[in-house]
């Protein structure tokens, strides 16, 4: 068979494979592509689609082989670089993924998705300054993607460069999400022209997500400028919008709290334990309760690294403890969980021996973590219930926290969280869990910092009192606040009338 005939047959098989794939018949489609490749090994489309189907079915190493061959044929094809990056990430090669994304963005400097992927990976790899460089270059490129000022301001905020973030974003305020981030970077005064700009923007057509973001921002501006009643009215509108945009199964969520408490009895907690070699610090507490502040204080200590809200633990529980919380793992599984947890946190340790982890889902895994790592230390940060809930109600969370957009649901979630934490207090060893009040930290920073460090078995270091000067990235909603010296304006904050708060008050009282 001559090469021309083989190429024609490969093209025909490729067309048939595409039709099969569109019909959902992926196994047959892959067979056709393999037959096509046997006839023409230089067909870019065949190689690229074989890579895509291998990636889709969990064969990242094979996918990378196909994408690499396809790239050699068409190095200017953007999608092959995007897919190579995904395959490299699946295989645990972030540097190779970065190289592929950098190539992709060089080919398509106006590609917002490529820019998002590149910046996110740079931030994941603790290369914030490189992310700033990439975004500033994108800002200089004409035309630049519309998302660049917002992305750059957010990266600068995470890095603690608040003034730079404000300067980047101020000239580019156009959408609700722009104003939402901007509102987190400034304190508004009555008569501020940006308040008028937001009020004018309210009357323009926009997507519900953007309108909700704008209303959250304007509510914050009203609160800052001395109009708390107007602020809460607008917050209620913003939260109603968000509640319609998210899916929240309250019954299932509340059942998860009870299920874990029922499974981890005192008798079970006294059973087998994992190796006593690791001593992570697990920070627990509702969002907006002061957990970021406590983490920032601890992470300012020379031997403690801050891991923030990371995604390391949940997939490890799924892998090592299938059926959690109904299945109790053997000692070997506990040891494997501890080992893989430490390995997964390795990059976040920053060459420090201790780690403070404030992953939100950790509240469900306290018992498991204590058994896997008996020297783990837990810190429960508490704040006045109304202050905590109203602070949650004032935020538009990027993901999760779907319970926070309706006052009754928010109060019931808070109560369920408290019940589970009370359970951990009862079943954990007496020296494992420290409860600390946000209000006490604000009133006596040094005294409470000494308590925190003593609980963790570390000596006091005055650097912890200057937590706001730390250069570590902070990714949570409190990123801007923890760059400031400690203040007490969030203690006993203004509250709406009892009538306005009735759903929350009733839920908190049970």
Q: CB atoms < 10 A from the CB of 30, how many?
A: 19
Q: In terms of DSSP bridges, do strands 433-437 and 377-382 run parallel, antiparallel, or are they unpaired?
A: parallel
Q: What is the pLDDT of residue 2?
A: 54
Q: What is the pLDDT of residue 483?
A: 46
- pTM flag (> 0.85): no
Q: CB atoms < 10 A from the CB of 466, how many?
A: 12
Look up residue 129 and give its two tokens: 């300054």
The answer to whether 104 and 82 have CB atoms below 8 angstroms apart is yes
Cα–Cα separations (whole angstroms), residue 313 to 28, 47, 226 = 37, 36, 42
Helices (H), 125-265: 128-140, 148-158, 162-169, 176-185, 193-201, 208-224, 228-245, 250-263
Cα–Cα separations (whole angstroms), residue 161 to 296, 348, 480 = 16, 21, 9
Look up residue 231 and give its two tokens: 């602020």
**How many angstroms separate the first and last alpha carbons of the chain?**
79
pLDDT by 10s per residue, the chain, length 510 = 455 677 787 778 888 888 888 888 888 888 888 888 888 788 898 899 899 999 988 899 999 999 999 999 999 999 999 999 999 888 888 889 999 999 998 888 888 888 998 998 888 877 889 999 999 988 887 777 788 999 999 999 988 899 999 999 999 999 999 999 999 999 999 999 999 999 999 999 999 999 999 999 999 999 999 999 999 999 999 999 999 999 999 999 999 999 999 999 998 887 767 767 889 999 999 999 999 999 999 999 999 999 988 888 999 999 999 999 998 888 899 999 999 999 888 878 878 999 999 999 999 999 999 999 999 999 999 999 999 999 999 999 988 899 999 999 999 999 999 999 999 999 999 999 999 999 999 999 999 999 999 999 999 999 999 887 765 555 555 555 544 556 655 565 678 888 999 999 999 997
Residues paired with 437 in a beta bridge: 382
Q: What is the pLDDT of residue 214?
A: 97
Hunting for tokens 């990056």 — which residue is that? 85
Please give the Cα distance from 63 to 314 (Å, whole number).
26
From 82, 39, 40, 42, select the one nearest 63 (Cα to Cα): 82
Q: Quick one: residue 247, left, alpha or beta (phi over 0 = left, psi -120 to 50 = alpha)? A: beta
Using DSSP, state whether 499 is helix, strand or coil.
Answer: coil
């Amino acid at each position: 068979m001559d090469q021309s005939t083989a190429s024609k047959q490969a093209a025909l098989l490729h067309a048939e494979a595409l039709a099969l794939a569109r019909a959902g018949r992926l196994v047959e489609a892959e067979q056709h592509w393999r037959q096509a490749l046997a006839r023409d090994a230089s067909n870019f489309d065949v190689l690229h689609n074989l890579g895509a189907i291998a990636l889709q079915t969990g064969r990242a190493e094979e996918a990378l082989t196909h994408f690499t061959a396809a790239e050699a044929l068409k190095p200017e094809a953007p999608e092959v670089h995007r897919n190579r990056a995904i395959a490299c990430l699946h295989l645990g090669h972030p540097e190779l993924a970065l190289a592929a994304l950098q190539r992709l963005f060089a080919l398509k400097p106006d590609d917002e998705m490529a820019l998002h992927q590149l910046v996110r990976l740079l931030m994941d790899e603790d290369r914030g300054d490189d992310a700033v460089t990439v975004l500033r270059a994108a800002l200089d490129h004409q035309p630049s993607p519309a998302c660049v000022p917002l992305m750059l301001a957010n990266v600068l905020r995470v890095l603690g460069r608040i003034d730079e973030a404000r300067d980047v974003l101020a000239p580019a305020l156009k959408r609700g999400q722009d104003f939402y981030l901007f509102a987190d970077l400034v304190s508004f005064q009555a008569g501020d022209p940006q308040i008028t700009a937001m009020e004018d923007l309210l009357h323009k057509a926009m997507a519900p997500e953007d309108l909700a973001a704008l209303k959250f921002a304007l509510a914050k501006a009203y609160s800052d400028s001395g109009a708390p009643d107007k602020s809460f009215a607008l917050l209620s509108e913003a939260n109603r919008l968000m509640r319609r945009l998210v899916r929240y199964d309250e019954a299932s969520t509340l059942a998860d709290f009870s299920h874990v408490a029922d499974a981890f009895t005192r008798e079970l907690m006294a059973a087998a334990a994992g190796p006593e070699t690791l001593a992570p610090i697990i920070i627990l507490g509702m969002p907006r309760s002061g957990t970021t502040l406590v983490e920032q204080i601890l992470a300012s200590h020379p031997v403690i690294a801050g891991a923030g809200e990371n995604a390391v633990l949940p997939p490890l529980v799924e892998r090592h403890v299938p059926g959690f919380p109904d299945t109790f793992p053997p000692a070997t599984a506990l040891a494997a969980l501890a080992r893989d947890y430490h390995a997964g946190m390795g990059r976040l340790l920053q060459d420090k021996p201790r780690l403070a982890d404030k992953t939100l889902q950790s509240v469900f895994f306290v018992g498991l973590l204590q058994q896997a790592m008996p020297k783990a230390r837990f810190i429960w940060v508490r704040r006045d219930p109304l202050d905590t809930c109203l602070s949650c109600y004032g935020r538009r969370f990027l993901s999760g926290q779907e319970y926070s957009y309706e006052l009754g649901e928010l109060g019931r979630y808070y109560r369920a969280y408290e019940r589970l934490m009370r359970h951990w207090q009862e079943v954990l060893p007496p020296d494992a869990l420290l409860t600390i009040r946000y209000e006490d930290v604000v009133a006596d920073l040094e005294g409470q910092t000494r308590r925190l460090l003593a609980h963790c078995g570390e000596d006091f270091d005055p650097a912890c009192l200057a937590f706001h000067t730390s250069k570590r990235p902070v990714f949570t909603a409190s990123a801007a606040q923890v760059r400031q010296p400690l203040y007490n304006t969030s203690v006993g904050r203004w509250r709406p009338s009892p009538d306005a708060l009735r759903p929350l008050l009733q839920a908190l009282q049970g």
